[in-house]
Structure 1
Amino acid sequence: MRPCNFEENVVWYTILGTYLFYFMGILYFVPTLVTWGLTLYLGKKLWQQTDSTPADERIRIPWIIWAWLAAMFAMLVSLVMAHVDFDLGTATLLKSTLGWARGWALWALLPLLGCLSIRPQLIYRAICMLGLQSLVIFPVFVVGFLLRLPDPLYTVPWNVFGGPIGAFQISFYTIDPENRLIRIGLFAPWAAAIGYVSSVFFPLSLAETNRWWRSIGIAAAVLMAVISGSRLAVLALPATWLLTQILSRLSRPSVLIGLSGASLGAGLAAPQLINLVQNFIAQFRSFRSSSSDLRATLDNIALQRWPEALWTGHGIVERGPKLVQFMPIGSHNTWVGLLFVKGLVGFLSLCLAMVATFGVLVFKAQNIFLARVALHLFLALFLNTFGDSIEVTVYLVWPGLLFLGLAYKASEEQPQKPELATLLEVAPS
Structure 2
Amino acid sequence: MTPNNPAERMIFKAMTLTWPFYAVGALYVVGPVLAWVLGGLAILSLYLGPAIRHDLRATGSIPPLIWVWIIGMFVMLVALWAGHLDWGLGLKKTIKSSIGWAKGWALLALFPLIGAVLPIRRAVLIRGQCVIGAWTLALAPVLLAAPYLGLPERIFTSPLKAVGGPGPEYFSVYFYTFDPASWTPRWQFYAPWSPFAALLGVVMVLFALEEEDRKWMLAGVAAGVLMILASKSRMGLVGLVACTIAPRMMPLILRGWAWHVTAALTASLAVIGTALVSLAQDAVSAFKGARADSTRVRETLQRIASERWQNEAMWFGHGTVHPGSHAVEYMPIGSHHTWYGLLFVKGLVGFAALLVPMLWHTGVAMIDAARNPRGRLPLGILMTIILLSFGENVEIEAYMLWPGLILLGIHLRELATDAATKAADDDAADTHAPEMRTEG
Find runs of 4+ consecutive structure 1 residues off by over 3 angstroms. Answer: 50-58, 411-414
Which of 326, 350, 353 does residue 349 from structure 1 map onto?
353
Q: Counterpart in 2 of 1:208?
A: 211
- Maintained 8 Å contact 1:311/1:342: yes
Q: How does 1:299-378 map to 2 (within 5 A)?
A: 299-307=302-310, 308-378=312-382
Q: 2:76 aligned with 1:72, yes or no?
A: no
Q: Deviations over 1:392-428 (max 9, x none)?
A: 11111210111111111214987xxxxxxxxxxxxxx
Q: Distance in 2 between matches of 1:413 and 1:169?
A: 43
**Which protein is bigger by CA-based radius of gyration?**
2
**What SS does the corresponding residue of 1:170 show, helix, strand or coil?**
strand
Q: Counterpart in 2 of 1:117?
A: 119
- Maintained 8 Å contact 1:18/1:27: yes
Q: How many residues align?
A: 414
- Maintained 8 Å contact 1:371/1:410: no
Q: Counterpart in 1 of 2:253?
A: 250
Q: Counterpart in 1 of 2:299?
A: 296
Q: How does 1:19-418 map to 2 (within 5 A)?
A: 19-49=19-49, 57-115=58-116, 116-163=118-165, 164-307=167-310, 308-411=312-415
Letter in 2 for 1:98: I
Q: Displacement, 1:161?
A: 2.2
Q: Displacement, 1:175?
A: 1.0
Letter in 2 for 1:21: F
Q: Distance in 1 between matches of 2:416 and 2:95?
A: 44
Q: Distance in 2 between matches of 1:67 and 1:264?
A: 41
CA RMSD after TM alignment: 1.9
Q: Displacement, 1:258?
A: 2.7
Q: Displacement, 1:367?
A: 2.7
Between 135-144 and 398-407, the greater mean CA deviation after superposition: 135-144
- Maintained 8 Å contact 2:45/2:52: no
Distance 1:267 1:215, change over 3 A: farther
- Maintained 8 Å contact 1:178/1:288: yes
Q: Distance in 1 between matches of 2:10 and 2:50?
A: 25
Q: Displacement, 1:234?
A: 1.0
Q: Displacement, 1:330?
A: 2.6
TM-score normalised to the size of structure 1? 0.92
- Maintained 8 Å contact 1:65/1:111: yes
Between 132-141 and 249-258, the greater mean CA deviation after superposition: 249-258
More helix by share: 2
Q: Counterpart in 2 of 1:424?
A: none
Letter in 2 for 1:8: E
Letter in 2 for 1:213: W
**What SS does the corresponding residue of 2:363 show, helix, strand or coil?**
helix
- Maintained 8 Å contact 1:368/1:411: no
- Maintained 8 Å contact 1:201/1:400: no
**What SS does the corresponding residue of 1:153 show, helix, strand or coil?**
strand
- Maintained 8 Å contact 1:200/1:381: no
Q: Counterpart in 1 of 2:432?
A: none
Q: Displacement, 1:57?
A: 4.9
Q: Distance in 2 between matches of 1:210 and 1:52?
A: 34
- Maintained 8 Å contact 1:371/1:408: no
Distance 1:169 1:64, change over 3 A: same
Distance 1:137 1:239, change over 3 A: same
- Maintained 8 Å contact 1:370/1:410: no
Q: Distance in 1 between matches of 2:378 and 2:394?
A: 17
- Percent identical among aligned pairs is 35
Q: Displacement, 1:19?
A: 0.8
Consecutive unaligned residues in structure 2, runs of 5 or more:
419-440
Q: Distance in 2 between matches of 1:174 and 1:331?
A: 20
